[in-house]
């Protein structure tokens, strides 16, 4: 995988993970163009498209688009399931995750992603093991009381 | 909702994010951000040393601001300081910051590498993983220099924890991709390959990505992985859904690992060892069989995972290209997917079939689906699926179905998106030439192309049709007649005028007998378009006019009148003026013999070696050139010069006076006499198309 972007329907970027070295300027340009392209797609269209010399795999969960850029020889369907697995992980961690969780806990979204994918490849595909690793790390954290944030949002998906 | 109950919720950060979200305008947002930046700057510079928690909070705020899209030019030092904290969360944020805001300051790099080194040797698996993640995320050359030697050791050491091994494998992969010269596997090779047998599925999953990449660059050194991969795959494919426990995904056993194993096998030719090969074939058959079984779950995740393995298996079968039975089965499976409810599957089936089409074993099987594909071209609502269908038609085209396919592609072209037209035009032109038995069909096709999509007919395409007409006596009359008729259309494309001008200039005599296309009629037809054309076209037309004077002396005075007019001999364009003047002079002073020699019929173009076909870049999927096409291409090239004698020494190029070479042929002096240029051009256009693809939605 070359990069993964999460963005809202208004085109606001919520997470950007780059697995190839690119300058900040290039990243901004790619983001702008790709977000525009994906947002222009209609609902019934297929989840894959060709863009530059990459294949783009995307899926919308509630208000968030999950968009991955893979290379020509990579498998599109399994990438769709990588996206799904990541959503499952977020969902389990946050308990019925929604976009706000990712906005306010963006650093956690990155940490969870790093436990699942590294260098653009899946490193651990057991949901249990990934969550265990994150929980263990959380146990090492300081516990400080924080404000309970009122959330009236649509969860990304219904837990299976 | 445990949004902030897990670990610590940095209250200040949450409030700041809320503030930003409540900003009503971009200006307000920038104002709030600047306020915060000033605050953080002063805190960092302040006399009081910040505690870890505060530092972490501010670094995190800076990170948030950066990810919003604003530039951050400070905070790196503080982030690096966080690395040496013994509190996990502080380290974590520090690492995240420096992975995202990569800085090339050498002092910082030195400090970062030091911190990483400490964490790597800490023997604390959580810290080690943090460090490895950072190296994998940044992957800089400096890090490779510092750690490329250490990481393989960690990877294969007996006492390394599984989770650390996983991170080490992918970390090493990243370093190898960016600095392959610094990652020397040498003594580690066999131990790394052996990871394929590891008990822990996660370790295997991570290691196999590394092994696949290494195998691609050093196939011989890693070839022992093939048999290990086959046995691993075999075990997974034949396992019950309860065997693999948490590695089963929606009733599919280890789909990610299965796909990766199948990918690894695509780095190598079919196994030589009979037993291994047998086992693998059995595996592939099982996968194909499972596709026919009723699904164990209605969830799309189940079918995606199952089909992901299926498509990867089909890729492997196509890559081997040696088991006819498997190839035909693969083709049938894809054929079923062509009509599936799910658009994704139809898309992937079309894509996969393109590669199948170039295999000699399955080419015929692919052709049986032509009606379905044509239907897809006409009825699919998603333009990317329609494009795949067009690619597949191109790939499955051969002598038997060329006429049908070209006709379908032409009608598709009439309504196709502008961004893909150039690619389509090239494809149609290539197919028409490659499979033409009857060259009048070829001429018709190209002229149709110009009519339908004139703007997208590049030079190479219409140069080619002219070359072919010149080289083939049998089609010259037909070409002249057809082009004459096409020019009669009120709004005809400039490319048509170019082709028409050239062909009538060379072969107008073949239709001059008919009063409807007498010389003067031909001239007036061409000249009626003259003022609508660009300079290069007008230049071409002027050349056609002088050729007319040679062919049809009765037109001499009319044409000279035109040449003599101010708009020609005093034309502001140098080229046009020069031609008008020279041609006028030539027509006045040359005797008929000299004129005839100078304006002799164009000699046939020499064909270039078809070995250029072999040099064509192999485009993955649709435009791929298979070995069969190479052979066919060689035969076609020879045929192009067919059709009758050209007789007479005076016709050979070397005996033409220099004058004709320069004025008549100079505008075509760079003609490339090969259809291979069209294919080259197409590869470039396709690449460019993908850059512009987003306009078509």
SS3 of B265-330: HCCCCCCCCHHHHHHHHHHHHHHHHHHHCCCCCCCHHHHHHHHHHHHHHHHHHHHHCCCHHHHHHH
CB contact residues (below 8 A), chain B span 305-344, against chain A: 305, 307-308, 311-312, 343-344
Q: Chain A: residue nearest B19 by CA?
A: A104
| Nearest-CB residue to B67 (from A16, A21, A124) | A16
Q: Quick one: closest CA in B to A5, which residue? A: B67
Among chain A residues, CA nearest to B205: A123
Q: Which of A9-13, A138-142, B463-467, B636-640 has the lowest mean pLDDT?
A: B636-640
Q: How far apart are CA B440 and CA B478, in angstroms?
A: 7
- Report the chain B residue with the minimal C-alpha distance to residue A139: B7
Residue B570 lies in a domain: yes
Tokens found for residue B661: 């070479």
The pLDDT value given to residue B50: 85
Note whether residue B233 is domain-resident. no
Q: Is B69 helix (H, G, I), strand (E, B) or coil?
A: coil
DSSP H helix total and E strand total for chain A: 5, 7
What per-residue confidence (pLDDT) applies to B480?
93
Of the partner residues A28, A51, A111, the one whose CB lies closest to the CB of residue B92: A111
Residue A69 located in a structural domain: yes
Q: How far is Cα B472 from Cα B455, in angstroms, rounded to an integer?
A: 27
Give the Cα separation of B513 and B519 in Å (integer): 9
pLDDT at A51: 87
A48: nearest Cα among B311, B67, B249: B311
Low-confidence residues of chain B: pLDDT under 50: 1-7, 609-674, 691-697
Which residue in chain A has the smallest CA separation from B246? Answer: A126
- Phi and psi, residue B189, nearest 5°: -50, -55
pLDDT in the model for residue A141: 62
Q: Does A9 touch chain B (CB under 8 A)?
A: no
Mutation pick from A2, A8, A81 vs chain B, by most beta carbons of B within 10 Å, is: A81
Instruction: Tell me if B246 and A129 make a contact (CB, 8 A cut-off).
Output: yes
Please tell me which residue of chain A has the smallest CA distance to B348.
Answer: A76
The widest CA-to-CA distance across chain A, in whole angstroms, is: 48
Please choose, from the candidates B182, B92, B240, B251, the residue with its C-alpha nearest in 3D space to the C-alpha of residue A110: B92
Check residue A97 and give left, alpha or beta (phi > 0: left; psi -120 to 50: alpha): beta
**Domain membership of residue A133 as a residue range:** 3-143
Tokens 């789909």 correspond to B255
Q: Nearest chain B Cα to A27, which residue?
A: B69
- Please say if the pLDDT value at position A136 is more than 90: no
Can you give the CATH number for the domain in which A21 is found? 3.30.450.60
More confident residue, A76 or A156: A76
* A44-48 own/partner pairs: CB under 8 Å, 24+ apart: A44/B343, A44/B381, A44/B382, A45/B343, A45/B381, A45/B382, A45/B384, A46/B343, A46/B344, A46/B346, A46/B347, A46/B382, A46/B384, A46/B385, A47/A76, A47/A80, A47/B344, A48/A76, A48/B344, A48/B347, A48/B348, A48/B384
Confidence (pLDDT) at B29: 93
* Rounded Cα gap, residues A77 and B179, in angstroms: 30
Q: State the Cα–Cα distance between residues B254 and B202, nearest whole angstrom.
A: 10
**Predicted pLDDT at A52:** 85
**Residue B689: what pLDDT?**
55
Q: Compute the nearest-CA separation of A32 from chain B (Å).
A: 11
Flag whether A8 is in a domain. Answer: yes
pTM: 0.81
Question: Which tokens is B647 given?
Answer: 């007789």
In terms of residue numbers, what domain contains B516? Answer: 482-599
pLDDT tens digit string along A50-76? 888 899 999 999 999 999 999 999 999
Task: Return the residue in B1, B82, B297 with the most chain A beta carbons within 10 A, the one to mutate for interface testing.
Answer: B1
Is B542 domain-assigned?
Answer: yes
Residue B93 Cα, gap to closest chain A Cα (Å): 8
Residues of A whose CB is below 8 A from B384: 45-46, 48-50
The verdict on residue A74 lying in a domain is: yes
- Give the pairing type, strands A121-122 and A48-51: unpaired
Contacts of A50 in chain B (CB under 8 A): 384, 690, 693
Which of A84, A124, A140 is nearest residue B202 as measured by Cβ atoms?
A: A124
**Contact at 8 Å (CB) between A39 and A9?**
yes
Chain B partners within 8 Å of A85 (Cβ):
249
What does the block give as tokens for B348? 């992937």
In the predicted structure, residue A104 carries a pLDDT above the cut 80: yes
Instruction: Tell me whether residues B620 and A75 touch, CB distance under 8 A.
Output: no
Of B5, B69, B173, the CB nearest to A119: B173
Cβ count near B468 (within 10 Å): 24
Residue showing tokens 């101010």: B566
A82 within some domain: yes
Range 64-103 of A in CB contact (< 8 A) with B: 72-73, 75-78, 80-82, 84-85, 93-96, 100-101, 103
Number of domains chain B is built from: 1
Total tally of structural domains belonging to chain A = 1
What region, left, alpha or beta, does residue B392 occupy, with left being phi > 0 and alpha being psi -120 to 50 degrees? Answer: alpha
Residues with Cβ within 8 Å of A103's Cβ and at least 6 positions away in sequence, in order, are A14, B17, B21
Domain-embedded: residue B555: yes
Q: B2 in contact with A at a CB cutoff of 8 Å?
A: yes
């Amino acid at each position: 995988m070359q990069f993964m972007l999460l963005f809202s329907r208004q085109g606001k970027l919520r997470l950007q993970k780059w697995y190839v070295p690119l300058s900040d300027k290039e990243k901004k340009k790619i983001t702008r163009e790709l977000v525009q392209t994906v947002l222009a797609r209609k609902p019934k269209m297929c989840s894959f498209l060709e863009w530059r010399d990459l294949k783009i795999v995307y899926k919308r969960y509630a208000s968030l688009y999950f968009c991955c850029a893979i290379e020509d020889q990579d498998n599109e369907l399994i990438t769709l399931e990588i996206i799904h697995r990541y959503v499952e992980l977020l969902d389990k961690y946050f308990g019925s995750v929604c976009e706000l969780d990712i906005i306010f806990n963006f650093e956690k979204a990155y940490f969870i992603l790093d436990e699942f994918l590294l260098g653009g490849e899946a490193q651990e595909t057991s949901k249990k093991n990934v969550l265990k690793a994150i929980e263990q790390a959380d146990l090492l954290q300081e516990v400080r009381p924080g404000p309970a944030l009122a959330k009236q949002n649509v969860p990304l998906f219904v837990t299976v | 909702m445990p949004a902030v109950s897990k670990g610590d919720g940095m209250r200040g950060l949450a409030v700041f994010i809320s503030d930003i979200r409540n900003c009503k305008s971009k200006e307000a947002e920038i104002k709030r951000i600047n306020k915060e930046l000033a605050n953080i700057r002063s805190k960092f510079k302040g006399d009081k040393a910040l505690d870890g928690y505060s530092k972490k909070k501010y670094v995190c705020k800076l990170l948030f601001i950066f990810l919003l899209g604003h530039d951050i030019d400070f905070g790196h030092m503080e982030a690096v300081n966080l690395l040496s904290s013994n509190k996990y969360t502080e380290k974590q944020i520090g690492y995240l910051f420096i992975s995202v805001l990569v800085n090339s300051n050498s002092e910082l790099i030195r400090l970062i590498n030091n911190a990483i080194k400490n964490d790597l040797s800490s023997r604390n698996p959580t810290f080690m993983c943090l460090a490895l993640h950072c190296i994998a995320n940044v992957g800089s050359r400096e890090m490779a220099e510092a750690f490329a030697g250490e990481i393989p050791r960690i990877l294969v050491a007996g006492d390394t924890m599984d989770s650390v091994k996983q991170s080490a494998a992918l970390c090493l992969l990243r370093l190898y991709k960016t600095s392959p010269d610094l990652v020397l596997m040498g003594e580690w090779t066999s131990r790394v390959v052996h990871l394929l047998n590891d008990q822990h599925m996660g370790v295997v999953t991570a290691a196999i990505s590394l092994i696949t990449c290494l195998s691609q660059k050093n196939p011989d050194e890693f070839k022992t992985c093939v048999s290990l991969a086959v046995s691993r795959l075999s075990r997974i494919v034949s396992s019950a859904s309860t065997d693999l426990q948490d590695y089963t995904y929606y009733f599919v056993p280890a789909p990610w690992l299965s796909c990766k194993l199948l990918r690894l096998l695509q780095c190598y030719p079919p196994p030589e060892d009979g037993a291994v090969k047998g086992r693998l074939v059995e595996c592939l058959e099982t996968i194909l069989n499972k596709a026919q079984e009723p699904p164990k779950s209605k969830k799309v995740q189940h079918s995606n995972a199952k089909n992901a393995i299926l498509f990867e298996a089909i890729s492997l079968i196509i890559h081997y290209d040696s088991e006819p039975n498997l190839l035909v089965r693969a083709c049938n499976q894809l054929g079923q997917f062509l009509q599936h409810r799910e658009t994704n599957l139809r898309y992937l089936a079309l894509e996969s079939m393109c590669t199948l089409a170039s295999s000699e074993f399955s080419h015929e099987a692919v052709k049986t689906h032509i009606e379905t594909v044509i239907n897809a071209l006409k009825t699919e609502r998603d333009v990317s699926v329609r494009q795949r269908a067009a690619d597949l038609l191109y790939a499955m085209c051969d002598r038997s179905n060329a006429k049908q396919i070209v006709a379908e592609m032409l009608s598709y072209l009439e309504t196709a998106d502008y961004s893909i037209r150039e690619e389509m035009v090239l494809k149609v032109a290539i197919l028409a030439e490659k499979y033409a038995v009857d060259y009048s069909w070829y001429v018709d096709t190209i002229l149709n192309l110009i009519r339908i999509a004139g703007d997208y007919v590049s030079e190479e395409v219409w140069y080619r049709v002219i070359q072919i007409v010149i080289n083939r006596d049998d089609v010259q009359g037909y070409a002249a007649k057809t082009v004459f008729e096409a020019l009669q259309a009120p709004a005809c494309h400039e490319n048509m005028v170019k082709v028409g001008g050239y062909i009538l200039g060379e072969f107008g005599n073949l239709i001059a007998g008919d009063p409807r296309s007498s010389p003067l009629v031909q001239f007036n037809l061409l000249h009626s378009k003259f003022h609508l054309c660009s300079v290069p076209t007008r230049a071409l037309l002027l050349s056609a006019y002088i050729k007319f004077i040679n062919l049809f002396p009765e037109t001499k005075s009319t044409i000279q009148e035109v040449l003599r007019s101010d708009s020609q001999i005093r034309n502001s364009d140098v080229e046009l003026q020069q031609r008008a003047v020279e041609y006028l002079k030539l027509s006045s002073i040359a005797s008929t013999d000299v004129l005839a020699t100078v304006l002799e019929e164009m000699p046939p173009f020499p064909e270039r070696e078809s070995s250029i076909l072999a040099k064509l870049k192999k485009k993955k999927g649709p435009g791929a050139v298979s070995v069969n096409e190479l052979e066919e291409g060689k035969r076609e090239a020879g045929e192009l010069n067919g059709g009758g004698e050209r007789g007479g020494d005076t016709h050979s190029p070397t005996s033409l006076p220099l004058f004709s070479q320069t004025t008549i042929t100079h505008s075509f002096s760079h003609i490339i006499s090969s259809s291979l240029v069209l294919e080259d051009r197409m590869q470039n256009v396709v690449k460019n198309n993908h850059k512009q693809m987003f306009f078509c939605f």
